[in-house]
Structure 1
Amino acid sequence: MSDTILSIQQATILFKAQQAFQNLDFQWKKGENWAIIGDSGWELTAFIETLRGNTVLSAGKIERSFSADYVKSKTEAGEVHSFRDLIAYVSQKYVFKNRSHIQNFYFQQRFNSSESEETATVREYLLEVNPKVSGPWNIENVAKLLRLEALLDKSLLKLSNGETRRLAIALGLMQQPRIYLMDQPMTGLDAKSREEFGQILKRISEAGVQVLMTTSATEIPDGITHIGKLSKEGLVNTWTKEDFHLDQIQPLQMPSWDWELLASLLPKDLEVDPFPVIKLNDVTIKYGDKVILDRLNWEVNSGERWLLKGKNGAGKSTLLSLLIGENPQAYSKDFWLFGRKRGTGESIWDVKRPTGFVAPELSRYFPANQTCRKVILSGLFDTMGLFKKVSSEQEELAHQWIKLFILEPLQNTVIQRLSLEHQRWTLLARALIKKPKLLILDEASQGMDEFQRRLFKETVQQVCERSGITLIYVSHYAEDVPEVVEKVKELGN
């Protein structure tokens, strides 16, 4: 009997009406855990979706022998079934719903203690999983494995980016999979969590689950046994973990946009304010008995570029919520923005107008009809979507940003249907279109492939070099931080 659990033979694959691969071959055997790397995030996702059966096979063959016995027994019993019953999947796009099973949250709701209770807790969400097969995973052991024990009674909206990622992995395990597919699962995790990921992978494997994940060539976790390099031609190289070395990967060319066009869109004469852009004096933020920020002091002056860092759950999101005017606790604190103490008569629009903000989760909060173009234009009004008529000058400004980031073919596509990388460029254009004094980037290149991450880093570098903008940059990856960043604020020490 063959030990192959899945095979792809001479396959031509269409994904989202485009040809993704031609003559794709892949053999996945028992006991193997694969890391798939490549230069295109779109191709990596297309490969995962092919394994899930969500692409069009126009030539060749795919055999999923891991499900043969299950399919046979269910067929004989006359029960509805699919090979997908044995597969769990962690996407880069995860959506949580409220208690009414409607995803109608708004961004500020995360920081409003009463309204965030509309959301299920971590425990409730895990209990909703209804697996098609039996298996070893329960709330107790997934919570322990993924460090969710202290979060079980926490509202989903209160989770940090990294905590949400760990919950997404736990949800997959609760499905009792035989095969676990993960699309960039370490994205958004801090350095400690990324180191621990290899141990998590080993524990999953010991329970009889085989894993295939897409990842970066620089992040191959323990527990992976085989590595494949993907391109349009298919898997162009495969290695065992022991035989794989980074110098076998061809370096990427340095990417670029039209930097002169970028310069023309940036503010030419941002004045250097005589007062700090941000000033916090002994600021403490609590939710109930839980202290998130403890007597925090921080001063950011005009034109400075800061890296804000800290472990998942250290309070970065809470701090940023103060800076962008979304946290109601700001009014009772000794906290100044652009020379004005919060709670002295300023409107939320006064706070938002000089600030551009990008975070990966922002795309979830736009109404379903908001296209790439509308999202970019909404930056002029600091709203989560475009709800008013714009002038011809404003239309032209949006067109220039769309042209800069080569978004013309996608400008009328709704944001939720854009690829992650196109969502990121759309949100960056939205933040920059109003020529802000302060730019806050919270894991803003998350979900991009290596080429796009390098381009994003260089774009931020060029924005700072060509304007006097003040920058707060949040990233768990040192290699993603632009050289122009010269100061560091670390939370949780």
Structure 2
Amino acid sequence: MSEPVVYIQNLNLKYKSKIVLKDLNWSINRGDNWLLNGISGSGKTSLAKIIAGLQNAPGDIAINFDSNSKHPAQVLYVESWYQFKNVEGVANFYYQQRYTSLQVKETLTVEADLKLFGKENNLDFAEAEKIINALGYSAQRNTQLIELSSGEHKKLQLIKALWLKPQLLIIDQPYTGLDVNSRKSLNQLLDEIVADGVNLILICNDSELPAAINRFALLENGKITEVSSLQELQSETNQTLREMPDFLKVSPDYSSDSIVNMVNINISYGEKQVLKNINWEVNKGERWLLQGHNGSGKSTLLSLVNGDHPQAYANELYLFGNRRGSGESIWDIKQRIGLISPELHWYFDTSSTVWQTVASGLYDNFGLKLELPYSKAKQVDDLVNYFGLTDIKNETLSTLPLGKQRLVLLARTIIKNPELLILDEPCQGLDQQQTKYFNQLVDELCSNGMTLIYVGHYESALPNTLEKRILLDKGHVKIIEDINIFAEDA
């Protein structure tokens, strides 16, 4: 019998006093392609990084590459999180910078980044072309990295991984930010590289998987347990909502019946037109679902609504009853909005504690270090408790697993009881139970008359409160409709 590709014995890992992995044993044989599942914070990402040699931990681990394989003797770990650098090798960007044309030139284009990757790994660019086309990514080739949405960044990571074809490929949250068609195309591409001799581990909670996935593992209480089917991993535990804080039970203090009014909006970057003749009106208390394929213009549309896009002044755009450019500041707008998005999470200061992060939503900064008056501090305490974060309120965001970080930022989003709540893919990084819990929370929050714009690709992972839908396609409004039953085309 041949040696396993990965052999792990008595692996242990601790973060401070918390035991993450305890005497973990796992063997991955050639031809075995695993789905690794577990609740947020169970240690899945840490285990993947240990296997890939990116993190150390006590225990025995052996990687046995096949000397006869045509594929690189390498374990490639594709993170759920993407960090790019500018042309000088600097990774620090501020949130609004992605919409500033002068700063855009500081990052590589997608094609330049891919060619650099190909050169570093001795790869034929013709092979990348096939993957680019299969994932519908051709339109992004000349786009600067800083302009990409979270789904477009994810595709770039995946293109590199599929192009490299290492002997062992581990992908953390492979479907994050991807539209329905892209998920299907990705599964076909993964099946192809597995048939070509690549071993695969996927870390996710999704049910639509590549046909090549033939083993299923649950990471729980520090140990790996193999189960026989995907269904065994999807046991559901209902989480009871706590009592909503009193300040969220009342309707937001609306300044206008009109929240958003776009009249023939056009947005371009050089010769590339991203939004084309957009007409859209959102009135107070309405609850919208915003959908569209990756690259359809959703992120740009939202950047106009939340005040971040400088081209708003060159268009006829009204927010909260006032035309942009009529004298209000960006902070006047942000005070009325609660926002969570993958892009905001990228640029957030994770050195703040959970409590400070939630409190920072009161003043729209990225990490509050000031003392609050008693009434405001109690408001933060009540919300931290409502989200079940009290036991970790003094921990820094950077020490938390991604799913917990997202829950903290979600709490920050609603601290003001805003007139407009913008939730852009809010459940990225959350497991199924957390996703269900959060969407129940959104339903309850919106019962007070809060206005909502919600971006989500998965029809099965949406709040029930949604009542209207706008669908973008290549920068155009394709559909505006009331929500009943709609085709899964987003």
Bin the TM-score by the shorter chain.
0.7 to 0.9
Tell me how far apart the structure 1 counterparts of residues 323 and 44 of structure 2 sit (CA, whole Å): 47
Secondary structure of the residue aligned to 2:43 is: helix
The residue aligned with 1:98 is: 86
Match of 1:162 among 151, 163, 181: 151
- Once the 2 structures are TM-superposed, how far is the Cα of residue 32 of structure 1 from its aligned partner? 2.6
The answer to whether 1:384 aligns with 2:366 is: yes
- The residue identity in structure 1 corresponding to 2:361 is G
Closer/same/farther in 2, CA of residues 40 and 410 from structure 1, 3 Å limit: closer
Residue in 1 aligned with 2:202?
A: 213
Deviation track 1:235-276 (CA, whole Å, cap 9, x = no partner) reads 43333xxxx463x45631211342x2x232315243566632
Q: 1:87 corresponds to which residue?
A: 75
TM-score normalised according to structure 2 size: 0.87
CA distance in 2, matches of 1:386, 1:85: 46
Q: Which residue of 2 aligns with 1:251?
A: 235
Shift of 1:451: 1.4
Cα distance per residue 1:359-404 (max 9 Å; x no partner): 1231222346433333222212222333655434333322322222
The 3 A distance-change label for structure 1 pair 213 and 15 is farther
* Cα distance change on mapping 1:49 and 1:342 into 2, 3 Å: same
What one-letter code is carried by the residue in structure 1 that aligns with 2:309? N
Q: Distance in 2 between matches of 1:245 and 1:403?
A: 33
Conserved 8 A contact 2:167-2:197: yes
1:76 is matched with: none
Q: Check whether the contact 2:19–2:222 (CA below 8 A) recurs between aligned residues.
A: no
The verdict on how the C-alpha distance between 1:381 and 1:40 changes in structure 2, with shifts beyond 3 A counting, is: closer
Measured after TM superposition, the shift of residue 444 of structure 1 is 0.8
Q: Distance in 1 between matches of 2:445 and 2:201?
A: 37
| Structure 2 Cα separation of the partners of residues 436 and 424 of structure 1 | 19
Pairing 1:121–2:121 present: no
Counterpart of 1:62 in structure 2 is 61
3-state SS, counterpart of residue 251 of structure 1 = coil
Cα distance change, pair 24–358 in 1 and its aligned pair in 2 (3 A): same
User: Does structure 1 retain, via aligned residues, the 8 Å contact 2:6–2:62?
Assistant: yes
**Structure 2 counterpart of 1:109:** 97
Query: Does residue 1:324 correspond to 2:306, yes or no?
Result: yes
- Structure 1 distance, partners of 2:304, 2:207, is 34
User: What amino acid sits opposite 1:151 in the alignment?
Assistant: Q
Going from structure 1 to structure 2, the CA distance change for 1:285 and 1:428 (only over 3 Å counts) comes to same
Cα 1:359–1:16, aligned 2, differ >3 Å: closer, same or farther? same
Residues 179 and 287 (structure 1), Cα distance of their counterparts in 2 relative to 1, 3 Å cut: same
Which residue in the other structure is 1:4 paired with?
4
Residues 173-196 of structure 1: per-residue CA shift (max 9 Å, x gap): 565521111111112111111111
Distance 1:132 1:29, change over 3 A: farther
What are structure 1's unaligned runs of at least 5 residues? 71-83
Picking from 278, 283, 290, the partner of 1:308 is: 290
Partner SS state of residue 156, structure 2 = helix
8 Å Cα contact 2:107/2:145 also seen in 1: yes
Q: Which residue number in structure 2 is paired with residue 408 of structure 1?
A: 390
Partner of 1:52: 52
> Using a 3 Å threshold, how does the CA distance of structure 1 residues 444 and 100 change in structure 2: closer, same or farther?
same
The answer on 1:447 being equivalent to 2:429 is: yes
Equivalence map 1:344-355=2 (5 Å): 344-355=326-337
Give, in angstroms, the shift of residue 471 of structure 1.
Answer: 0.6
Counterparts of 1:122 and 1:328 in 2: how far apart (Å)?
A: 23
| Residue aligned with 1:4, SS | coil
Cα distance in 2 for partners of 1:446, 1:468 equals 25
Which position in structure 1 is the counterpart of 2:227? 238
Matches within 5 A, 1:174-323: 177-232=166-221, 234-239=223-228, 244=229, 246=231, 248-249=232-233, 251-258=235-242, 260=243, 262-266=244-248, 268-271=250-253, 275-323=257-305
| Aligned match of 1:460 | 442
- Residue 80 of structure 1 is matched in structure 2 by none
**Uncovered stretches (5+) of structure 2, i.e. residues with no partner:** 479-490
Tell me the SS of whatever aligns to 1:105.
coil
1:47 to 1:110, Cα distance in 2 relative to 1, 3 A: same
**Residue equivalent to 2:138:** 149
Gap change, CA 1:362 and 1:417, over 3 Å in 2: farther
Out of 176-185 and 307-316, give the one that drifted further: 176-185
Q: Is the 8 A contact 1:12 1:19 kept in 2?
A: no
From 412, 421, 426, the counterpart of 2:408: 426
Q: Is the 8 A contact 1:43 1:232 kept in 2?
A: no
* Superposed CA offset, 1:209-246 (max 9, x none): 2211112252322332333333237343333xxxx463
Q: Which amino acid aligns with 1:477?
A: Y
3-state SS of the aligned residue for 1:93? coil
Deviation at 1:55, TM superposition (A): 6.0
Deviation at 1:123, TM superposition (A): 2.6
Partner of 2:380: 398
Q: AA paired with 1:360? A: P
Q: Is the 8 A contact 1:67 1:86 kept in 2?
A: no
Render the CA deviation track for 1:48-77: whole Å, top value 9, x for unaligned.
Answer: 234234566556x4332227899xxxxxxx
Structure 2: distance between partners of 1:103 and 1:229: 34
Equivalent residue of 1:208, what SS? coil
- Verify the 8 A CA contact 1:133 1:176 in the aligned structure 2: no
Quickly say closer, same or farther: Cα 1:369–1:225, change in 2 above 3 A: closer
The aligned amino acid for 2:306 is I
Separation of aligned partners in 2, 1:105 and 1:55: 26
Moved more, 212-221 or 403-412: 403-412
Alignment coverage as a number of residue pairs: 470
CA 1:442 to 1:225, structure 2 compared with 1: closer, same or farther past 3 Å? same
Change (3 A) 1:442 1:219: same
- Whether the 8 Å CA contact 2:40–2:402 is kept in 1: the answer is no
Q: Is the 8 A contact 2:96 2:309 kept in 1?
A: yes
Structure 2 CA distance for aligned equivalents of residues 234 and 40 of structure 1: 15
Residue pair 1:267, 1:435 contacting (<8 A) in 2 also: no
Distance 1:13 1:23 in 2: 5
Q: Aligned partner of 2:5: which letter? A: I
CA contact (8 A) 2:75 2:166 kept: yes
3-state SS, counterpart of residue 63 of structure 1: strand
Provide the C-alpha distance between the structure 2 equivalents of 1:213 and 1:123, rounded to a whole number of angstroms: 26
When residues 409 and 171 of structure 1 are mapped into structure 2, their CA distance, relative to the original with a 3 A threshold, is farther
RMSD: 2.8
1:43 and 1:230 in contact (8 A); partners too: yes
Name the SS for the 2:308 alignment partner: coil
Partners of 1:283 and 1:293 within 8 A in 2: yes
TM-score normalised by structure 1 residue count: 0.86
Aligned residues of 1:316 and 1:491 also touching (Cα < 8 A)? yes
**What residue in structure 2 maps to residue 13 of structure 1?**
12
Contact 2:44–2:203 (CA under 8 A) maintained in structure 1: yes
Contact 2:256–2:320 (8 Å) recurs in 1: no
Residue matched to 1:474: 455
Q: Which amino acid aligns with 1:386?
A: L
